[in-house]
Chain A
Amino acid sequence: MKGYDLLELAVRNLRQSKLRNGLTTIGISVGVASLVAMLSLGVGLQQLATRRLAGSGMFDTVFVTSRQDFRGFDKEDDQKAPHPEKAPVLDEASRVKMTQLPNVTEVEPEIRVMGEVIAGGETHFGFVTGLPMSARENEAFDTLKGKFFSSDNADEAILLLDFAKELNTKNPSELIGQDISLRYGERQALSQDASDRPQLAGSDNEASSAGGNGDDFGFSVVRKQQKLRVVGIVDQEPYGGMRTVSRGRIFLPVRTTERLNMAQFNDMRSSLRGASGKTYTTLTVRVKDPAKVQGVQDAISQMGFRTFSVLDATKSLRRFFTVLDLFLGIFGSLALAVATLAIINTLVMAVLERRREIGVMKAIGASDGDVKKLFFTEAGAMGLFGGVLGIALGFAIGKAINIGTGVYLQRHQLPAEPVWIMPVWLIGAAIAFSIVVSLLAGLYPASRAAKLDPVQTLKYE
């Protein structure tokens, strides 16, 4: 029998029992819809996460910490590494070494200190963060009001909008161009004559002079005040505030923060260490091209430091989403599995009902293959209709999810973003999957129909 005739007969047979076949088809469509909705949710969430990471502009960044100071997230990796006390510290020498690595564009310390801003006779507490000039490229500054720093050593500040509102509730942008005073803690060497103090074994005066702080044996924190010109206001934290304990609210050029010699939390740690001069908590290494991040990261790891990049994050993210997709797929498939049983049931019923008809068809020349193909086509057609209907249904469910989350996000003052995305490949794959599953379900009924003995079915009753 030719394909077109097969299809025509199959469709007319399906229309013979509209209710039953309709219900079965709806069953399939619900199965497909749930599968599609689940997988689309997986895809949507994954894209949302990647979009967030990509937008943060951190794909070209490697964060470096000393193994002495922090242990990593990976316990196994930690155990394999040499003893933490033997690990190198993040000092000026290693910073210079990193700067000289190929493909590295800049190595900047991460500086975050506490400060008080005095404006209009009031003081406001805030965290100060040093930003390199390269931060201009970060998406956070896309909506910058005012200007970026004129140089990396300027006495200028950029405020986070929330903080600016604290200083000037009515019109925060008025602050641009105004001067504010920043009160901060300056790190001062404890004593000028370090020589009359007992030298610690292995202390390295050269390193301390390279750091230019000369405070091997401790330091005092002295309150200082610095006048700064507000040049801009940003809506969001650059780099998404990643890797920070507390968010920065006042941004200064990184050289300015270094020049002012602001006391940092980790200074406590470095003064206890006693073996070297100034050390950094975290160095941010920027790489020319995201593709080169892995190489730079490996090179720095070779130097004995702990490294972290978004690459690592996306790796585990990808693993997470594979597992998530798998689970969503399994749950989505459950409904389709139930629908498969419905197809088998419907077709077995049809074979029973149409025994006589099958016998007649065989008597007038249908081969076993023709009968089998006819039932297969009926199953496949139900799969196709169910698949298409299921896509439509899944699409509606997805739209509802998106609208729902959109409303929820907006209620929390967050921009609405689609969490549910149905890629074109999923539409095709779902319909194909639905047809294949239906055909598999048709396997048994079709072979049962083909095996019917026409002599038995045609016996006069």
Chain B
Amino acid sequence: MRKGREPAPRRDSVASNGTHMSSLPVSDLTSAVRAENVMRHYPMGESIIRAVDGVSLTIEPGEFVALLGQSGSGKSTLLNLLAGLDRPTSGSVSVHGRDLAKMSSEELARYRRNDVGMVFQSFHLIPSMTITENVELPMRFAEVERAERAQRVRESLERVGLSKRLEHRPSQLSGGEQQRVSLARALANRPSLLLADEPTGNLDSRTGEDILNLIRDISLSLGMTVVMVTHERVLAERFAQRLIFLADGKLVAEEVQA
């Protein structure tokens, strides 16, 4: 199993050839994310809610994919399954050839910490912490050396275009700025997969576009795979390379952008 200490070179190796996992079949390594007949059912009183009901999909490294659908279509649940925050009832989810279903909760935490960055609709910054501290937090969990952290915080914040008011609390920032901080936090541990859950949902359309521009640029420059949940088709068409439509927990359509 990989150590959490050295996440830096992994992104490149995954993007280029994936040789760091020699024990796994090469076919698996060509895709960043591979879901096979994934189901996630919740018991709700007497009945069972089929939030995700047999989804299979493959996402290539460096791809920008949008998951679209009505609310309750299961897109957020699917995203949580990819993030390792939730486990499928059946089926398998593999990221870089590793089956998340087979991981212990400790391993899943390490996976989230080192391989995944998450951005949320309501930012989910910790209100009592300054901008810097918020961005630093995932590196504390990843046990990054203190000296390196400061530099990486700066680097991440620069990447999202924030250089001022770094010692302010999130509540003193605008929504767009908060989402940038949240993005910087997601990038802090240099993940290979960025999962965004309605990242523009709480932003006006201009600011939302700025954020998506930023995400696309970062994805391109770092070769980072992006999976974004949204219900705004126009934005998805503008930024994503591929659109995946979900309804009632099932994959109903797919569109590849020119």
Contacts and interface: CB of A to CB of B under 8 A. Distances in A.
Interface in B65-87: 80, 83, 85-86
A356 interface: yes
A7 to B, nearest CB: 11
27 contacts: A1-B141, A1-B143, A5-B140, A9-B140, A356-B124, A360-B125, A360-B126, A362-B109, A362-B112, A363-B83, A363-B85, A364-B118, A364-B138, A365-B113, A365-B138, A365-B142, A366-B113, A366-B141, A367-B105, A367-B110, A367-B141, A368-B109, A370-B109, A455-B85, A458-B85, A460-B121, A460-B198
Contacts of B125: 360
Contacts of B106: 367-369
A289 interface: no
B37 interface: no
Contacts of B142: 365
A361 interface: yes
Nearest to B186: A364
A367 B109 contact: yes
B124 A458 contact: yes
Interface in B115-151: 118, 120-122, 124-126, 128-129, 137-138, 140-143
A455 B138 contact: no
Nearest to B185: A364
Which of A361, A365, A366, A455: most chain B Cβ within 10 A? A365
Nearest to B80: A455
Contacts of A356: 124
B181 to A, nearest CB: 12
B141 A370 contact: yes
B122 A460 contact: yes
Contacts of B122: 460
A455 B86 contact: yes
Main secondary structure of the interface of A (DSSP, over half): helix
B230 interface: no
Nearest to B83: A363
Interface in A1-36: 1-2, 5, 9, 12-13, 16
Contacts of B112: 362-365
Interface centre among B109, B110, B114 (most CB of A within 10 A): B109
B117 to A, nearest CB: 8
A172 interface: no
Interface of B: 80, 83, 85-86, 105-106, 109-110, 112-114, 118, 120-122, 124-126, 128-129, 137-138, 140-143, 185-186, 189, 198, 201
A364 B187 CA distance: 10
A357 interface: yes
A454 interface: yes
Contacts of A368: 105-106, 109
B143 A364 contact: no
Contacts of B83: 363
A356 B140 CA distance: 19
B125 to A, nearest CB: 8
Interface in A320-377: 356-357, 359-370
Contact of A364 (B80, B86, B105, B137): B137
Contacts of A370: 109, 141
Interface of A: 1-2, 5, 9, 12-13, 16, 356-357, 359-370, 454-455, 458, 460
User: Interface centre among B118, B120, B124, B185, by most A CB within 10 Å?
Assistant: B124
Contacts of A366: 109, 113, 141
Contacts of B143: 1-2, 5
A11 to B, nearest CB: 12
Contacts of A455: 80, 85-86
A5 B112 CA distance: 19
Q: Indicate the member of A16, A368, A454, A458 with the most B CB atoms within 10 Å.
A: A458
Contact of B120 (A2, A9, A458): A458
Contacts of A12: 128-129
A373 to B, nearest CB: 11
B138 to A, nearest CB: 4
A306 B113 CA distance: 80
Given A369-B106, A455-B80, A361 B128 contact: no
A444 B195 CA distance: 33
A16 B133 CA distance: 15
Nearest to A2: B143
Contact of A365 (B124, B128, B141): B141
B247 to A, nearest CB: 20
Contact of B124 (A13, A363, A367, A369): A363
Given A370-B109, A455-B85, A455-B86, A364 B141 contact: yes
A362 B137 contact: no
Nearest to A16: B128
A5 to B, nearest CB: 4
A367 B138 CA distance: 11
Contacts of A9: 140
B114 A365 contact: yes
Contacts of A16: 128
A3 to B, nearest CB: 10
Given A1-B143, A5-B143, A366-B141, 7 more contacts: A356-B124, A363-B120, A365-B110, A365-B112, A365-B114, A367-B109, A455-B86
Nearest to B143: A2
Contacts of A364: 112-113, 118, 137-138, 141, 185-186
A-B pairs with the 8 shortest C-beta distances? Answer: A365-B113, A367-B109, A365-B141, A5-B140, A364-B138, A360-B124, A365-B112, A366-B141
A359 B80 CA distance: 12
